[in-house]
Structure 1
């Protein structure tokens, strides 16, 4: 019986760790959206003439946009992978709890 309790506790600890990692991924996705927006604004402002039309400004806008897109994609795929693991651990935890034959008091 204590082995089941330990397995459940281990699963819950792992779920907590994965939940923290998922939250970091979610925050990274928000940051990457801001980077994309800043890159697009910088590029557009340089094209329209609001900023001096220096090639370095255009390149910086393009680079920021591409870096943000790449960072967002990486964070999103990691988030999806972590979410899948969390769901699998929660299912396993529920199976262990159901297998304990607990009484209703």
Structure 2
């Protein structure tokens, strides 16, 4: 593999790392939204059970659905985040390996000539 091929592969890996980082950030946002949905659904269910507001059975069913949907979304996004972070780590290791293979040249400072 030539140095240009390695450089191209490093660039591709860096682009993949950036794309994976965006996916990870999106997962984190969904995880936060899922936690909010679970908390909000639980609070609404508690309010409905205590009868503080006259929401009734529809609100109770909606709050249960909100909690269950939040739990499913939370689990799915945590799993996806873990897989994405593992892929990022693997890509970074590959990038470091390729960088280590490149034959770097030392550029010495030369005195400048004045005209």
Superposed pair shares fold, TM > 0.5: yes
Larger Rg: 2
Match of 2:10 in 1: 8
Residue by residue over 1:80-104, the C-alpha shift from the partner in whole angstroms, topping out at 9 and shown as x without a partner, is 0100000000000000000113245
Q: Does 1:89 align with 2:102?
A: no
Q: Give me the whole-angstrom Cα distance separating, in 2, the residues matched to 1:26 and 1:55.
A: 33
Structure 1: which 5+ runs fail to align?
A: none
Q: Any runs of at least 4 consecutive aligned residues in structure 1 with deviations exceeding 3 A, and if so which? A: none
SS at match of 2:98: helix
Bigger fraction of residues in helix = 1
Structure 2: which 5+ runs fail to align?
A: 108-115
TM score, norm. by length of structure 1: 0.95
TM score, norm. by length of structure 2: 0.87
Match of 2:29 in 1: 27
Match of 1:47 in 2: 49
Give yes or no for contact 1:47–1:53 (8 Å, CA) kept in 2.
no
SS at match of 1:50: coil
Aligned length: 105
Provide the aligned C-alpha RMSD in A.
1.1
Q: Give me the whole-angstrom Cα distance separating, in 1, the residues matched to 2:106 and 2:95.
A: 19
